[in-house]
Amino acid sequence: MKGIVLAGGTGSRLFPLTKITNKHLLPIYDKPMIYYPIQTLVDAGIADIMVVTGGKNSGDFLRLLANGKGFGLKHIAYTYQEGEGGIADALNLCEHFADGQKICVVLGDNIIEKNIRGAVEAFRQQDKGGRILLKEVTDAERFGVAEFQGDHIVGIEEKPAEPKSNYAVTGIYMYDETVFDKIRTLKPSNRNELEITDVNNAYIREGTMTFSFLDGWWTDAGTFESLLRAANLVAQSRGVQAVYA
């Protein structure tokens, strides 16, 4: 299985912090943000990784990460997303890298407490389809939200005003090789982006989407509040008293 970290976009919600750098190069406690999703993949036993970046500071990733020696890797691949076409558009740039293999995708601003090795191993044994990781939250309206019928997911609704469950879809996705065929059928949303929720719903419609529940805490870091929360959670996990709770 190959790993993909999506670290493009302009980080407009974090302006002016992102005026002269990519959001994913900002610090989360004692490491750059991009270190965390890469480590998530490495901890899951995935060593063949591509980073998708964009904007004016893409070269900084190469200087920072090089070939991934600091993570115990022999090589990191890179590709470039022009503009802001959405998560699915960024993922589509990785078809040549995936080369027909299963992939595990992590959004570059998603940070977790524990590891996803169990979910990755379950997906390795899965014949086909996709697998998403869910987390129960108190503010589900901020995320894509899973709708259940019994033990099955029957749909995902993006940022619903009235969520049908409290289970948010985290920014960790696993797909088989058909994901790129599904992306090619997508139409841009009202945001003029290709939405990853539409990809997930395509798997749900064909009955091949499975899920796992994520252990430990999970947060994104795309706003000022969540950036601070992420730093405090990481600090607390290392026994450091949070500055702000």
Please determine, for residue 9, whether its predicted confidence score (pLDDT) is greater than 90: no
Alpha helix segments (H runs only) across 44-175: 59-65, 87-92, 95-98, 117-125
pLDDT at 243: 55
- pLDDT score at 242: 55
Q: What mean pLDDT comes out for the span 209-213?
A: 97
Q: Which of 11-15, 52-56, 73-77 has the highest mean pLDDT?
A: 73-77
* Exposure class string for 102-141: b at 16+ Cβ within 10 A, else e: bbbbbbbbbbbeebbeebbeebeeeeebbbbbbbebeebe
The domain limits of the chain are: 2-237
Structural contact between residues 14 and 230, judged by C-beta atoms closer than 8 angstroms: no
Predicted confidence (pLDDT) per residue in 108-122, tens digit: 999 999 999 999 999
Q: Which residues pair with 145 in a beta bridge?
A: 157, 168
- Give residue-wise pLDDT tens across range 18-45: 999 999 999 999 999 999 999 999 999 9
pLDDT in the model for residue 244: 52
Confidence of residue 49 (pLDDT cuts 50, 70, 90): very high
Residue 150: the pLDDT is 87
CA atoms within 13 A on the CB side of 240: 11
Residues 129, 182 contacting (CB under 8 angstroms): no
SS3 229: helix
The pTM of the full predicted model, rounded to 2 decimals, is 0.95
Report the CATH number of the 2-237 domain.
3.90.550.10
% pLDDT > 90, the chain: 87
Proportion of the chain above pLDDT 70, given as a percent: 98
Averaged pLDDT, 142-154: 93
Instruction: Decide if pLDDT at 83 tops 90.
Output: no
pLDDT of residue 175: 98
